[in-house]
Structure formats: structure tokens, C-alpha cells
Amino acid sequence: QVQLVGSGGGSVQAGGSLRLSCIVSPYTYDSYCMGWFRQAPGQEREGVASRVKDGSTSYADSVKGRFTISQGNAKNILDLQMNSLKPEDTAMYYCAADWRCDPGVRAIKQYRFWGQGTQVTVSS
């Protein structure tokens, strides 16, 4: 059974940074397609960033140049570095994984395994 645990959320002021981490098991993160998604109150869940097995990454237009996916402290940890945060980035952030997925951040329905979510709040 694939399990994911997300962490690293918090409250920051606009312009600040946060680093989210997703611990995936039982295999290393490059065994899966992995993605980061977010959901603000009253809004649909949307894709933020994704990484497919060949290592290629995709980002939502709203976060390009500010957010970066990278390996965390271990090979079963995938991080999302978030810089230059804006109030509109406020949301619950979720990491997700699956064995196969299409590239891009729109493939939300292809992810069957989800972490519990971590809250990011950006104040102006």
C-alpha cells in the first residue's frame, strides 16, 4: 500500500518562503509519478507541480519561477520549495502519487494515493 505523509506548512508573510516535504513509502519517490496539489476554501483542488518517472517536472502557470520540486533529505522524500509566496497561495497542500500518470499538473484524477494535507497561510 502506497502511503504519503506531507509536512512543512505554516504561516508566513507575503514574499516569504516555505518548504513542504512529502514522505512516500514503500519505495523511493522516483518509483512513482508524484504531484503537489492545493485546495483553497470554496475552490476546487488544483495542480501545483508534478514530477513523472523520467524526472521531468511541470508547474502551474501561477507558480512557475517561484515553486520548485526537488529531492528532500532522503530518496523517499519529495519537497516543494515555495518562494515569493503570495496571499493567493493560501490553501491546504496535498502530495499525491501513483504508478502511472500523464505529464502536467492537470492529471489530478490519475492520482489514487494522497497524503493528509498541510496548511499554508500567506498574509499580506
Q: Please, which pLDDT band fits residue 103 given cuts at 50, 70 and 90?
A: confident
Q: Cell 496535498 identifies what position?
A: 94
Going by pLDDT thresholds of 50, 70 and 90, the confidence category of residue 41 is: very high
Dist CA 57 CA 36 (whole Å) = 11
Mean of pLDDT over the chain: 95
pLDDT at 67: 98
pLDDT of residue 106: 85
Distances (CA, A) of 102 to 22, 85, 89, 99: 20, 27, 24, 11
Least confident of 72-76, 107-111, 112-116: 107-111
